[in-house]
A and B are shown apart, each in its own frame.
Chain A
């Protein structure tokens, strides 16, 4: 997202940013502390900086619950132009209920929600911030 980008040697390449515009849904895998894997489709993984991504937290769900007891997660994001799939290993870091990252996500969600008469109902509770541990192109695509 445009609010923040560190010019450090980060893990996320420039090339991945289209896959984080939320055009094609993303997939996230998490695991409870009891060892039960969970796979969920999410509408957007937000680019925070070259080492962090954010997930919107609107409804309480299993993903939200799992990462708070076991922070490791795996995320699949897809480029809407090339359909390239990327695999990110991430670690839940913290949750933000204000600040620039939250505000930008909240404004985007509110903008769309208001178009569908869902203002105030479909709203951002928090931005969950994840640290990126690794990123690579998925071998599931024939060639990119």
Chain B
């Protein structure tokens, strides 16, 4: 485990959905095609929200693929802003 998590800016997000393709372990799409950052990945009881090391590369790929720049990595403890 590391100290990173994903933060989604819902205003910037246009629902392209690439993130869910690239990181299905941590992101699913809702009924309207907008990403839901999966709960356990964001707020795991043991990791304080960290993304498992084995999945970090996929999470990074999702971040860089977002055409709207709506997704970013943040320190797990940092506030959302």
Q: Do A and B belong to a common assembly?
A: no
B residues near A (Cβ < 8 Å) are: none
A residues near B (Cβ < 8 Å) are: none
